[in-house]
């Protein structure tokens, strides 16, 4: 029994067959860029909000947290770089307000009354 060229082609899979044909049970991996993009956008927004709230309360905690979150979101290439830069600026402003309060009042708290 001799095999012709067409019989050999039927019995062996072609070398250029797509992976989906070779393994029909395989589940495609989710796109990691979408999840990373949403996470980076969330970090940018959270940095902005924490920096804004940090101007009023918890300067010592929220300022550095806002700075770190802004830098992480910028490193992950957020689609909202403006919010990340605002969060970075507000986090730095939190630390400046804290330094002024410690210098002027000798305390880390402040009040609106005279």
What is the band of 6 on the pLDDT scale with cuts at 50, 70, 90? low
User: SS in 3 state form for 31-85?
Assistant: CHHHHHHHHHHHHHHHHHHHHHHHCCCCHHHHHHHHHHHHHHHHHCCCCCHHHHH
Structural domain count, the chain? 1
What is the band of 68 on the pLDDT scale with cuts at 50, 70, 90? very high
Is residue 110 in a domain?
no
Domain coverage including residue 85: 33-105
What is the band of 111 on the pLDDT scale with cuts at 50, 70, 90? low
| In the predicted structure, residue 20 carries a pLDDT above the cut 70 | no
Is residue 26 in a domain?
no
Query: What is the pLDDT of the chain when averaged over all its residues?
Result: 79
- At residue 17, the pLDDT reads 53
| In the predicted structure, residue 76 carries a pLDDT above the cut 70 | yes
Q: Per residue in 29-48, pLDDT tens?
A: 555 556 667 888 999 999 99
| In the predicted structure, residue 58 carries a pLDDT above the cut 90 | no
CB 40 within 8 A of CB 83: no
CB 45 within 8 A of CB 83: yes
């Amino acid at each position: 029994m001799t095999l012709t060229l067409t019989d050999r082609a039927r019995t062996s899979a072609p070398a250029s067959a797509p992976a989906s044909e070779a393994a029909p049970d395989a589940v495609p991996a989710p796109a990691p860029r979408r999840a990373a993009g949403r996470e980076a956008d969330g970090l940018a927004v959270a940095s902005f909000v924490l920096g804004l709230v940090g101007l009023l309360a918890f300067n010592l905690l929220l300022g550095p947290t806002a700075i770190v979150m802004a830098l992480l979101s910028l490193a992950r290439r957020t689609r909202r770089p403006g919010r990340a830069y605002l969060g970075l600026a507000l986090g730095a402003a939190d630390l400046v307000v804290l330094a002024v309060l410690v210098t002027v009042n000798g305390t880390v708290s402040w009040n609106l009354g005279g």
